[in-house]
Amino acid sequence: MSHLSAYLYSLAIGLLVGLERERSYRGRAGQAYGIRTFALLALVGTLATEAGEGAVVVALAGVVGLLVVGYRRTNETDPGTTTEVAAMATFLLGVLSYHDAALAAALAIAIVVLLMSKTRLHRFVSDVLSDVEMEDAIKFLVGAFVILPLLPRRGVGPYAILNPSRIWLIVVVLTGVSWVGYIAVRALGERRGLLATGLAGGFVSATAATATMARESRTGANFAPALAGAQIASAATYVELGVILFVVSPSLAGRLAAPVLVGTLALVTVSLLGSRGSRGTTETGAPAARQRVVTLTPALVLAVILTGALFLARWGAHAFGARGAVFAVGAAGLADAHGGSLTAATLYTKGALGLDATLVAIGVAMTTNTLVKCGVAFALGGRRFGWRFGVGVLASHALFLLSLALVLVWW
């Protein structure tokens, strides 16, 4: 009775996978394994495990033999091997059920979801995924799972600020967040216009996205959607800031969660209200879905800015105290909000800046970058675009700073 639950889990797993396989062959000939066979395979796996390792080896050999015989009977009408592989997996899940029934059940559910997604996956690979997107996916995976584990994790250089692993992690996070924004745009559709383009562009560089939207706004029909796209690009800045700070310092990200949420919601609200004016207009500009997904250049530039700003801030903190570090972080924010904020967060994790000074430095970096974006909006979009953009962005930033001040006072 002590292992009764393992057999119950095993039976349920076999029935679940067998049900999906039998339904997938409805109205078709050539199915060698049905729901009963899958249930028995799972139970045999659990029973063999209880009998001992030798029994598992013998049972596995028998299952392999049955699968080979079954495939030879059906390969002319069904040359695929998905059912045979699923049968082998079901047997092994029966073995796993004896040791960890919950994990076996979770894996069984994942396998069933994968089997049921056949049509969607084939359509995605053949009709949706482009060669450029595949190349970018490989770049991201190489950067995250090949390069990152090989980099040293200790600080080197002046003040021990050059930590290759930490710097490359920021590059990986930036490209990963760009992927998230890209997937969101693809879910919305390729021709949702400048609002979706601004959202995806904001995850890479909100300042660059603002410049693009400002130029687009000079076409009369595109003014409202371009304005909304520029504003939601700045909302993406808040989201990306929260994600990156969570990677560098979860405790600091927790302190900034409320200000980031307030700033994001305010800008999203403003941009969505402004986008109402885009209904019925002609969509122009390249949809975000047709752009490259992973653009390493902005991420690498940010890493360089971060390293330089970190050195200046560490030197400023050493020479002039916290005020020097805050000044250097604010200067870094002129180029990129994340560069200054990440510099402050890194100094905080190293103990070179206190919590209050770090929060002030992040506020200064975000403020200087917001002013730069407003200047870009005026310069490239004209007075009307600049004023409309500035009102929305500065109002949301004021709420961000107010929330940040409350954190400083009450936390």
**286, 305 Cβ separation under 8 angstroms:** no
Residues 66 and 139 in one domain: no
Residues 76 and 202 in one domain: no
Residues 109 and 155 in one domain: no
Structure confidence by residue, pLDDT tens digits, 274-315: 666 544 444 433 444 445 555 666 666 656 665 665 566 566
pLDDT of 220 higher than 70: no
Picking from 95, 124, 153, the residue at the C-terminal end of a domain is 124
List the one residue out of 409, 410, 254, 264 whose CA is nearest residue 345.
254
31-40, 196-205, 223-232: least confident range: 196-205
- Number of separate domains in the chain: 2
Cα separation, 169 vs 155, in Å, equals 14
Q: Which residue in the block uniquely carries the two structure tokens 């407003």?
A: 374
Task: State the pLDDT at residue 307.
Answer: 65
Cα separation, 138 vs 130, in Å, equals 13
Q: Determine the average pLDDT of the residues in 371-396.
A: 86
Residues 94 and 135 in one domain: no
pLDDT band, very low/low/confident/very high, at 45 (cuts 50, 70, 90)? very high
Residues 244 and 278 in one domain: yes
Residue 142: CB atoms within 10 A of its CB come to 11
Cα separation, 199 vs 176, in Å, equals 15
What average pLDDT is seen over the chain?
76
Structure confidence by residue, pLDDT tens digits, 68-98: 887 777 666 666 778 888 889 999 999 999 9
pLDDT band, very low/low/confident/very high, at 267 (cuts 50, 70, 90)? confident
Cα separation, 255 vs 65, in Å, equals 60
Helix axes 101-116, 4-24, angle to 10 degrees: 0
Structure tokens at 62: 């028998």
Cα separation, 348 vs 341, in Å, equals 11
**136, 293 Cβ separation under 8 angstroms:** yes
Residues 138 and 280 in one domain: yes
The CA-to-CA distance between both ends of the chain, in Å, stands at 54
Cα separation, 147 vs 286, in Å, equals 32
Please tell me whether residue 104 adopts helix, strand or coil conformation.
helix
pLDDT band, very low/low/confident/very high, at 44 (cuts 50, 70, 90)? very high
Judge residue 133's burial from the number of C-beta atoms within 10 Å of its C-beta, 0-12 exposed, 13-18 middle, 19 or more buried: middle
Structure tokens at 184: 């969101």
Task: State the pLDDT at residue 186.
Answer: 60
Residue 84: CB atoms within 10 A of its CB come to 20
Question: Taking the model in full, what pTM does it have?
Answer: 0.52
Task: State the pLDDT at residue 164.
Answer: 79
Residues 140 and 75 in one domain: no
pLDDT band, very low/low/confident/very high, at 192 (cuts 50, 70, 90)? low
Picking from 74, 98, 124, the residue at the C-terminal end of a domain is 124
According to DSSP, residue 356 is labeled H
Q: Which residue in the block uniquely carries the two structure tokens 């690979």?
A: 125
Please tell me whether residue 190 adopts helix, strand or coil conformation.
coil
Residues 113 and 148 in one domain: no
Cα separation, 169 vs 176, in Å, equals 10
Picking from 124, 144, 167, the residue at the C-terminal end of a domain is 124
According to DSSP, residue 281 is labeled P
Residues 221 and 139 in one domain: yes
**67, 54 Cβ separation under 8 angstroms:** no
Domain hosting 110: range is: 4-124
Please tell me whether residue 162 adopts helix, strand or coil conformation.
strand
Cα separation, 277 vs 218, in Å, equals 15
Residues 404 and 269 in one domain: yes
pLDDT band, very low/low/confident/very high, at 191 (cuts 50, 70, 90)? very low
- More confidently predicted of 116 and 330: 116
Cβ contacts of residue 143 below 8 Å, gap of 6+? 168, 171, 172, 175, 296
Task: State the pLDDT at residue 323.
Answer: 64
Structure tokens at 77: 């009408």
Structure tokens at 389: 């953009």
Please, how many CA atoms are within 13 Å of residue 298, restricted to the half-sphere of its CB?
23
Residues 212 and 248 in one domain: yes
pLDDT band, very low/low/confident/very high, at 16 (cuts 50, 70, 90)? very high
Residues 113 and 134 in one domain: no
